[in-house]
Amino acid sequence: MKAKLIFFIKHPSLTLKYISKYYPFTYSELNKYKNLLNWQAVSSNEQINFTDNIIRKFHRKWWNYELIQNPKVIWNSSLIKTFEKQILRSLKTFYSRTTTFIHQITMMDQYPSLKETLVLDWHLMNHSPGI
């Protein structure tokens, strides 16, 4: 336990991200620490009881893409109507990234030697000891 505490003290930004991602914040805690939290991590935190009030109160803090994907957020018609622009912008970003990814895969299929090289490079980067 002491080793974990020392680690968290030595790495405050990582600690903050971890707490932001996994701590079951209440409305009052979110409000109290709103200027300290990592809101990208809070947006994907599945331990928070996301109410309409919480979503509306911190609407300028949320990372919309993460919030939209969070299964703990119940998107009722009122929230969808209120945040329609943000939702659409996030979906467009997702679509753009997905289209780029699909295009890259298609290009790889057209050039087998490129595909082999990229797959080998990925494998070496992710499975080589000491890297």
**Residue 67 CA to its chain's centroid (Å):** 8
Tell me: pLDDT of 28 over 60. Answer: yes
pLDDT (0 to 100) of residue 84: 85
- DSSP string over 66-101: HHHH-TT----HHHHHHTHHHHHHHHHHHHHHHHHH
User: What average pLDDT does this structure show over 81-100?
Assistant: 76
Query: In the block, which residue shows the tokens 């087998």?
Result: 112
- Among residues 73, 97, 72, 94, the alpha carbon closest in space to that of 83 is found at 73
Average pLDDT over residues 82-99: 76
Instruction: Please name the residues in contact with 14: beta carbons below 8 A apart, sequence gap of 6 or more.
Output: 8
Distance CA 37, CA 61 (A): 10
Query: Is the entire prediction scored with pTM above 0.75?
Result: no
